[in-house]
Amino acid sequence: MLVLTRKTGQKLIIGDNIEIIILETKGESVKIGIKAPRNITVYREEIFEEIKKANEQSTRNVLIADLDLAFNLFETKKKKKD
């Protein structure tokens, strides 16, 4: 891993078209600006962890009975609308 030190306002250039700028540091937080082409997706690492957790939670102890109840609520809502 490449580790380097930058000051506020300084930039990093990655490849031909990705630019990272250190905007502000405050205590433990660093505010970063990223300029990249539209086809490059930037993710916060936590989102993967969140989705993984949500997936695991969604299949654990899921009962057909609970889904039947959920379906009833859906139907009730639909009827109210009509």
**Least separation, in Å, of the C-beta of 77 and other proteins?**
6
Query: Which one among 37, 59, 79, 82 touches other proteins, defined by CB under 8 A?
Result: 59
| Options 3-11, 14-22, 25-33, 36-44: segment touching other proteins (CB under 8 A) | 36-44
CA 12, distance to chain mean position in Å, is: 23
Rule CB under 8 A: which residues touch other proteins? 39, 41-44, 47-48, 50-59, 61-64, 66-75, 77
